[in-house]
Amino acid sequence: MRSGQVAEAAGVNIQTLRYYERRGLLAEPNRSSGGHRLYGAEAVTALRVIKAAQRLGFTLDEVAELLEAGRHRHGRPAAGLQERATAKLAEVDAKITDLTTIRTALTAAVEAGCDDLTVCASTEGCPIPFTGLAEPLCVP
């Protein structure tokens, strides 16, 4: 398959295909006698795997490590998806906690009618955490 066909089948654009190739996420394709890139069906699968891993929150560097670990297993266990997914899950949980704290403060600010940060900072009972603490702390 040529570049456009692979990109379309995998749901990416040609620039993304070439970028992944430059980064080493995709193997260098064979070339036709006219110099066109020719990919096998495994390129579509690889692109789909890369995009799925990104949707799960993995960076391209992490995706590269996962792909590399998968390529070099040779029957030995490698630090692969299970270990990395567990670590990524801990990161996601930490982000959810942070976002929940932010949501709570913003909801309280909206409910309190805060419209000016400077005024709110000097108002007793201000719900915005100006000190960076998880609990709102306002100057009376």
Average pLDDT over residues 17-33: 92
Residue 30 predicted with pLDDT over 70: yes
Contact 130, 137 (CB under 8 A): yes
Residue 134 predicted with pLDDT over 50: no
Using CA atoms of 67, 54, 49, 60 in order, give the dihedral in degrees to the nearest 10: -30
Provide φ and ψ at 37, rounded to 5°.
-70, 135
What percent of the chain has a predicted confidence (pLDDT) above 70?
Answer: 84
Average pLDDT over residues 1-23: 94
Residue 50's pLDDT band (cuts 50, 70, 90): very high
More confident residue, 71 or 2: 2
Residue 126's pLDDT band (cuts 50, 70, 90): confident
Average pLDDT over residues 14-41: 92
Q: What is the pLDDT of residue 135?
A: 46
